Amino acid sequence: AQKITQTQPGMFVQEKEAVTLDCTYDTSDPSYGLFWYKQPSSGEMIFLIYQGSYDQQNATEGRYSLNFQKARKSANLVISASQLGDSAMYFCAMREAFSTKLIFGTGTRLQVFP
């Protein structure tokens, strides 16, 4: 069964520094997609970045990058040059290729301080 694990309930980072949020996953399907979402205090779920299991390069979207290590089954989110507005909950999620279901981890609360 597919499973997503986020072991960091909370993280602190100083403004302008980089931070890595951890995500490990478990699946027996060779084809899958990994997603990261941001949930600010206002509550909406905002899509950040996607990584496919067959993608040769790590995904990047602006200040967000995904450190994808397939053999270790990890898909860590790296936020460079943190901003105060990055303070939020961050969720890792996975969907297997022939499934329409997205399975979420329990999330990491990131707090950026000045």
Partner 1 sequence: NAGVTQTPKFQVLKTGQSMTLQCAQDMNHNSMYWYRQDPGMGLRLIYYSASEGTTDKGEVPNGYNVSRLNKREFSLRLESAAPSQTSVYFCASLAGGTTDTQYFGPGTRLTVL
Question: Which residue ranges make up the site for partner 1 (CB under 8 A)?
Answer: 6, 9, 31-33, 35, 37, 43-45, 47, 50, 52, 91, 95, 97, 100-107
- Using CA atoms, how far apart are residues 40 and 113, in angstroms rounded to an integer? 15
Q: Which is nearer to partner 1, 18 or 45 (CB)?
A: 45
- Using CA atoms, how far apart are residues 10 and 110, in angstroms rounded to an integer? 6
Q: State in angstroms the smallest separation of the CB of 105 from partner 1.
A: 6
Q: Which is nearer to partner 1, 84 or 97 (CB)?
A: 97
- Using CA atoms, how far apart are residues 8 and 63, in angstroms rounded to an integer? 21
- For residues 4 and 105, is the Cβ–Cβ distance under 8 A? yes
Greatest Cα pair distance, the chain, in angstroms, is 44
Q: Which is nearer to partner 1, 9 or 85 (CB)?
A: 9
Q: State in angstroms the smallest separation of the CB of 106 from partner 1.
A: 4
**Through-space distance between the first and last CA atoms of the chain, rounded to whole angstroms:** 41
Q: State in angstroms the smallest separation of the CB of 98 from partner 1.
A: 9
Q: Which is nearer to partner 1, 32 or 79 (CB)?
A: 32
- Using CA atoms, how far apart are residues 83 and 113, in angstroms rounded to an integer? 8
Q: State in angstroms the smallest separation of the CB of 80 from partner 1.
A: 22
